[in-house]
Amino acid sequence: MTATAALEAAVGVPESRHTVLEVENLTVDVGTPYGRRAVVRDLSFTVAHGETLCIAGESGSGKSMTSLAIMGLLPRPTARIASGSIRLGGRELTRLGEGEMRAVRGDRIAMIFQEPMTSLNPVLTIGRQLTEAIRAHRSVSAGEARRLAVEALEAVRMPQAAARLDRYAHEMSGGQRQRVMIAIALALRPDLLIADEPTTALDVTVQAQVLSLLRDLQRETGTAVILITHDMGVVAEMSDRVVLMRHGEAVEGAPTQRLFRAPASAYARELLAAVPRIGEGAARRQTVPAVTERDEPVVAVSDLRVRFPTASNWFGRPVADLHAVGGISFRIAPGETLSLVGESGCGKSTTAKALAGLVPFEGDIVVAGRNAGELDRAGRKAMRRDVQMVFQDPYASLDPRMTAGDLVGEPLVIHRIETTAERRERVASLFERVGLSPDQMGRYPHEFSGGQRQRLSIARALSLGPKLIIADESVSALDVSVQRRVLDLLQELQAERGVSYLFISHDMAVVENISDRVAVMYGGQIVETGSRDQVFGSPHHPYTRRLIEAVPVPDPTRRRRAFAPMNEAHPDLVHARGTRPNAVQLREVAPGHWSAAA
C-alpha cells in the first residue's frame, strides 16, 4: 500500500469520490544563514472531488508554504521543493516548467488569499481583473469574457453584478472584495480551490456569509477545497477531514468529527482546549459588580462624538462630515472589563483613539476624575499615565530599531520616572510578570514570536501603572493557543493590579470569555449594553443576535445549514457640516440591560 493510500484509509476518504490531488512525502526547505532548513517535512494527504480538507495549525506550522508549493508559487531560490510528489489528476506538478504551471494555475487550481485588498490590483477595475483571468485560459471575445465575468459575480451572490464590473476594489466592503476573489478563483470551474485563511480578516457576520457561500458553491460545482486556517471553529464548520500541522509536520490526520470527539495527539487536545466557546465565560471569570451612579468610575464617557471632514467645496472648505461616533455614553468601574463589539467601521477603534487622546472629539471623557477636554498639554501628558493601549499588531506598534528592554522602559523615560538603574530593575520585573525572561531584554522585536511580541506590548502598557488599558483587537491576530495564554495573562494582571480594560473585538467568543459587561456598536452608536450574561444569554437587539448567531461553533455536529445573505443597507454616517445626528436612545429592558428599539 502506498503512503497516499495508507493515509486515505486512515482518515476516511469516501471510496465513491475520485481523488483530485495527491501530496506524498512533500518536503519544502528554505535557505538560511546556517544552511537550508525544512519548513515542511514528509507531508502526505489527498483531496477528493467535492471534499473540503482543512489544513490547520498555528502560524509557522507550514500551512501556507504547503499551499504555495502546490500552486508552484514558492519564492525561489529561497524556498524549494526538496523532495516528494504533488499530483493533480494524476499529473505530476513538481516536474512542470513555469509556462506549463502558469496554464494550470487559475484553470485547474485556483487560490483565494487572506487579504483581498492586497490581492486585487487597486488601479484596475473589478471587471478588468475578472476578464483578464478568463481570457488568459479561454479563447473568447472581450464581450463574451465580460458576460462570463457577470455570471461569476452573480454566482457569488454579488448584488448589481453588472454594475460592479466598473468599480474598483476600494469602492467595496471587505466582504464584497472577498466575493470578488472567490468569483475570480471559481470563474473557470477549477478542479481544486485553495483558500488560505480566507475569512481571518473579516468580521464575524461577513465570515459566516463567505463560508456559507463557499459551501453552496462547492455543492453546485463539486470543486475540491483545501481550506487553510488556525480557527478551529471554522474547521468544525467547513471541513470533511483535517490535517493538523505543527513545526512543518503533520501531527494528526482524521475525519473532522473524530478529531473533535477523540483527538489522538496531545497537541490536538491542547489546541481544542484553548478554543474560546460561548457559554464558558461565567466559569472562567468572576463578574465585577456593575458601577452605579454613587461609585467613582475609572472612565466616564458622556455623549462622545467624533467626526472627520469627508467632502469639500470648490474653495477647499469642508461641507460634509463622517460621524464615526455619533453620541455614545458608558462607564467603566475599577477592575472591570467592558468590551466594545461590532463590525469594522462601527466606531470601536475611533472610540478607543478618542479615549487615548489620539483624535479630536466632542462630549466628555473623564478619566480618574480628570476631564480630558479641559486639560492643557501637561495635563494630557499626565493623563496618559492612566490610559495605555495594546494594539492589534505588536510588530507594527513596536519600534524595530529598539531593544525589547528599551521599548518596555521608554514610557518611564518619557515621564522621567525613577533612575536608570531603577528603571532597568522595573523593566526586568515586568518581563518576568508577563512570562518573558529578563535575559531577553537585549533582543529586538523580530527575534520574538507573535505571542511574545504581544506580551512585550502588555509589559510596555503596564510600565506606568495605568488605571485603564485599551486592548484594541489585541488577540485577533494570534493563534488560538497563544490567544488563550494572552487572555489568561490579562485576567491575572487585572486580578493583581485592579486595572480596568476597554476590550475591543469583533470575536464574540473571545468577548464572552473575558468580559464583565458588553456594549454593542452599530453605525457609530451603542445599540445594546449590559452584563456579559445579559447580552449573550438574552440578546435583545436584532444586530446583537445576528453577531452571536454568526460565531462558528467548534463542534462539527452543530453546523449551520446556511447564514442569511449580507444586508447591503448600512446607516449613512455622512451628514452636511453643521448638522448633528441624533444619538440612539436606549431603554432599560432589564436591570442594567439597555437596548435600542429594533
pLDDT, tens digit, 9 for 90 and up, residues 138-196: 889 999 999 999 988 888 878 788 888 998 888 876 677 888 888 888 888 889 999 98
State how many domains the chain has: 2
493-503 confidence digits (pLDDT tens): 898 889 999 99
Evaluate whether residue 422 is within a structural domain. Answer: no
CATH number of the domain where residue 149 is located:
3.40.50.300
Residues 6 or more apart whose Cβ sits within 8 Å of residue 526: 328, 329, 330, 519, 520, 584, 586, 596
* Residues 51, 218: Cα–Cα separation, whole Å: 8
**Lowest-confidence pick of 165-179, 355-369, 534-548:** 165-179
Residues 6 or more apart whose Cβ sits within 8 Å of residue 438: 427, 428, 431, 432
In the chain, what is the straight-line distance between the N-terminal and C-terminal CA atoms, in Å? 61
In this structure, the answer to whether residues 302 and 380 fall within a common structural domain is: yes
In this structure, the answer to whether residues 360 and 231 fall within a common structural domain is: no
In 118-214 the beta strands, taken as DSSP E runs, fall at 192-196
Evaluate whether residue 393 is within a structural domain. Answer: no
In this structure, the answer to whether residues 179 and 316 fall within a common structural domain is: no
pLDDT band (50, 70, 90) for residue 11: very low
**Lowest-confidence pick of 55-69, 217-231, 449-463, 568-582:** 568-582
For range 337-347, the mean pLDDT? 89
Three-state DSSP at 31 gives strand
Evaluate whether residue 425 is within a structural domain. Answer: no
| Summary mean pLDDT of the chain | 86
Evaluate whether residue 450 is within a structural domain. Answer: no
Q: Cis link prior to 122 (omega < 30° from 0)?
A: no
* Residues 203, 265: Cα–Cα separation, whole Å: 31
Output the DSSP codes for 310-373. EEE-TTS-EEEEEEEEEEEEEEE-TT-EEEEE--TTSSHHHHHHHHTT-S--EEEEEETTEEGG
Of 273, 304, 322, the last residue of a domain is: 273
Closest listed residue to residue 245, CA positions, set 21, 478, 40, 388: 40
Three-state DSSP at 426 gives helix
* Residues 434, 441: Cα–Cα separation, whole Å: 13
In this structure, the answer to whether residues 89 and 230 fall within a common structural domain is: yes
Q: Which three cell numbers stand for residue 284?
A: 472562567
Q: Give the pLDDT score at 301.
A: 95
Q: Give the pLDDT score at 283.
A: 63
Strands 525-531, 593-596: parallel, antiparallel or unpaired by DSSP? antiparallel
Q: Which three cell numbers stand for residue 160?
A: 448589481
Q: DSSP secondary-structure letter at 564?
A: P
Domain that holds residue 196: 3-8+19-273
In this structure, the answer to whether residues 301 and 269 fall within a common structural domain is: no
In this structure, the answer to whether residues 544 and 475 fall within a common structural domain is: yes
Q: Which amino acid is at 139?
A: S
In this structure, the answer to whether residues 146 and 216 fall within a common structural domain is: yes
Is 471 in contact with 486 (CB distance < 8 Å)? no
Residues 6 or more apart whose Cβ sits within 8 Å of residue 348: 340, 341, 342, 472, 504, 506, 521
In this structure, the answer to whether residues 475 and 333 fall within a common structural domain is: yes
Evaluate whether residue 440 is within a structural domain. Answer: no
pLDDT band (50, 70, 90) for residue 95: very high
Three-state DSSP at 575 gives strand
